[in-house]
């Protein structure tokens, strides 16, 4: 027997083992988890809402056997502390260290704008659930190839404003008969920009005169002099714009029993925790809110998500997700629906095309209630006459049968209940002046 013949069985065994090992490695690689990264704040109610919405969706997908041929999803997080540079560092970390396949974001405007350039560099599919800045969507419209991996599943501020002007016309002017207002807004970019919108669009279109403008420091703790000034102006109502510690003007309004009604934009009132935050003194506050909002009736699937949310997080703040929690939940489903259709998150173009074609329609009583789809390149929204490529497919025209409404107006009542008061299709309450005003 030749030497080589002696070793043939051993060599064959070794070759088989090597093949098995290589094949095994390939199989193991196939079963490597898909990594989803979260970028945003860890501490704010909005940030936590995105995290939790994504967590619930990921757990559901994993429990259902995984994605992309049975792979589990791993969820990693990077905190931005709502800081612009930390946002860039966090985006780099998710890509360079965690090797994410997809990023879901709960970032605010300037933080998203900061990491946007890194996104274009890494070409990582990314979905924003919180910022509504139309400037980001404009970038996708203008430089599609560079930013095509970006999607935003909250209606942009342009769409929010369009519908909000209708509220001014239909409810404040036509229904309530208001003719003049005091525009009271905080000295922040948010306050100044919304005040500009009210001054330039809402008031003229609704035929409401601005009797007085009161700009206040965001750290104001005593609103009594401001409310006195507002009442003295003789205006029909106060239009408050507040995003920083908004529960303070809301609760002082009640405590001081200010004699004229108040509406506007109050960010704290977006969350179910508002009532506790005001110590039960939030009655009368009404605010614009992105959807799905507190107090809004829900379709069955979304209601089931809320049940899971409550069971899982109990009394941990936020006790009810903000709108972006819902957006994150459905955003994860949209992203993986697209990945399944495209065979993964790579190649990017295939995933982008599939993502543009995702369409999660949620019906209530046979009517379209919410819709998670996206505007495609070149599509023009008929009312505003402009493109919103990769923004959520919102609808700003009655009967809202082509997409989710861009926003709703909610009101907190004096008994602690909250309801949607506009648009009519989604309303389960009406605009009410506080009892002490009547």
Site residues, other proteins (CB under 8 A): 42-43, 77-79, 81, 83-85, 88-89, 92-93, 96-97, 109-110, 113-114, 116-118, 121, 133, 135-136, 139, 143, 188-190, 192-193
| Nearer to other proteins (CB atom), residue 81 or residue 364 | 81
* Closer residue to other proteins, CB minimum distance, 99 or 377: 99
Least separation in angstroms between residue 114's CB and other proteins is 5
**Residue closer to other proteins (CB basis): 143 or 379:** 143
Decide whether 82 or 236 has the Cβ nearer to other proteins: 82
Q: How far is the CB of 135 from other proteins (least distance, A)?
A: 7
Phi, psi of 350, rounded to the nearest 5 degrees: -65, -45
In whole angstroms, give the CA distance from residue 438 to residue 84.
46
Nearest one of 230, 235, 185 to 209, comparing CA atoms: 235
Q: Which stretches of 270-345 are DSSP H helices?
A: 274-277, 300-313, 323-342
- The first and second tokens of residue 308, run together, are 């899971």
Round to whole Å and give the CA distance between 328 and 47: 10
Q: Of the two residues 139 and 322, which places its CB atom closer to other proteins in the complex?
A: 139
Smallest gap, in angstroms, from Cβ of residue 342 to other proteins?
26
Q: Is 288 helix (H, G, I), strand (E, B) or coil?
A: strand
Question: Which of residues 77 and 322 has its CB atom nearest to other proteins in the complex?
Answer: 77
Nearest to 186 by CA among 214, 227, 218: 218
Q: Nearer Cβ to other proteins, position 193 or 219?
A: 193
- Please report how close the Cβ of residue 41 comes to other proteins at its closest, in angstroms: 9
Closest CA to 53 of 332, 362, 391: 332
Q: Which residues pair with 105 in a beta bridge?
A: 39, 128
Closest to other proteins by CB, 134 vs 332, is 134
- Least separation in angstroms between CB 220 and other proteins: 16
Q: Do residues 54 and 38 touch, judged by C-beta distance below 8 A?
A: yes
> Alpha-carbon distance 306 to 370, whole Å?
15
CA distances for 202 relative to 42, 162, 163, 185, 194, angstroms: 35, 9, 10, 15, 10
Separation between Cα atoms, residue 359 and residue 379, nearest integer Å:
16
CA angle 203, 206, 212 (to 5 degrees): 30
Provide, rounded to whole angstroms, the least separation between the CB of residue 36 and other proteins: 14
Minimum distance of other proteins from residue 213's CB (angstroms):
15
State the nearest-atom distance from the C-beta of 79 to other proteins, in Å: 5
- At residue 299, the 3 state secondary structure works out as coil
Strand, helix or coil at 222?
A: coil
Nearer to other proteins, 117 or 349 (CB): 117
The Cβ of residue 367 has, within 10 Å, a number of other Cβ atoms equal to 11
Tell me the three state secondary structure of residue 398: coil
Angle between helices 109-122 and 134-142 (to 10 degrees): 30
| CB of residue 214 to other proteins, shortest distance in Å | 17
With respect to other proteins, which residue has the nearer C-beta, 59 or 83?
83
Q: What minimum distance in Å lies between the beta carbon of 257 and other proteins?
A: 34
Residue with smaller CB distance to other proteins, 92 or 414: 92
Q: By three-state DSSP, how is residue 39 classified?
A: strand
Is the CB of residue 241 less than 8 Å from the CB of residue 170?
Answer: no
SS3 for 292? coil
CB of 268 to other proteins, least distance (A): 19
């Amino acid at each position: 027997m030749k030497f080589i013949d002696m070793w043939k069985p051993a060599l064959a065994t070794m070759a088989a083992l090597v093949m098995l090992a290589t094949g095994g490695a390939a199989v193991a690689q196939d079963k490597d988890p898909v990594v989803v990264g979260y970028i945003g704040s860890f501490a704010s109610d909005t940030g936590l809402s995105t995290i939790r919405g994504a967590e619930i969706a990921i757990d559901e997908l994993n429990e259902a056997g995984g994605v992309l041929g049975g792979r589990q999803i791993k969820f990693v997080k990077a905190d931005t502390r709502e800081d612009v540079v930390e946002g860039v560092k966090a985006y780099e970390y998710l890509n360079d260290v965690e090797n994410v396949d997809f990023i879901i974001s709960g970032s605010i405007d300037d933080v998203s704008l900061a990491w946007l350039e890194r996104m274009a560099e890494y070409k990582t599919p990314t979905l924003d659930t919180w910022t509504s800045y139309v400037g980001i969507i404009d970038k996708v419209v203008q430089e599609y190839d560079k930013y095509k991996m970006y999607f935003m599943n909250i209606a942009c501020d342009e769409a929010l404003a369009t519908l909000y002007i209708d509220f001014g016309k239909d409810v404040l002017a036509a229904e309530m008969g208001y003719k003049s207002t005091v525009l009271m807004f905080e000295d922040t970019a948010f306050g100044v920009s919304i005040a500009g919108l009210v001054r330039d669009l809402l008031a003229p279109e609704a035929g409401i005169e601005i009797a007085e403008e009161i700009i206040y420091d965001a750290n104001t703790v005593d609103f009594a002099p401001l409310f006195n000034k507002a009442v003295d102006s003789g205006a029909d109502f106060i239009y408050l714009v507040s995003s920083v510690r908004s529960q303070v003007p809301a609760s002082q309004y009640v405590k001081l029993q200010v004699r004229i009604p108040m509406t506007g934009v109050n960010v704290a009132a977006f969350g179910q925790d508002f009532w506790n935050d005001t110590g039960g003194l939030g009655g009368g506050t009404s605010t614009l809110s992105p959807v799905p909002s507190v107090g809004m009736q829900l379709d069955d699937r979304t209601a089931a998500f809320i049940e899971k949310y409550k069971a899982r997080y109990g009394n941990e703040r936020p006790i009810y997700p903000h709108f972006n929690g819902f957006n994150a939940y459905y955003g994860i489903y949209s992203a993986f629906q697209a990945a399944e259709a495209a065979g993964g998150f790579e190649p990017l173009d295939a995933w982008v095309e599939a993502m543009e074609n995702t369409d999660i329609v949620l019906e209530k009583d046979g009517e379209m209630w919410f819709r998670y789809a996206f505007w495609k390149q070149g599509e023009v929204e008929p009312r505003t006459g402009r493109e919103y490529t990769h923004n959520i497919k919102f609808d700003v025209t009655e009967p809202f049968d082509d997409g989710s409404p861009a926003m709703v107006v909610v009101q907190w009542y004096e008994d602690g209940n909250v309801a949607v008061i506009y648009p009519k299709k989604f309303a389960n309450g009406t605009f009410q002046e506080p009892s002490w005003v009547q």
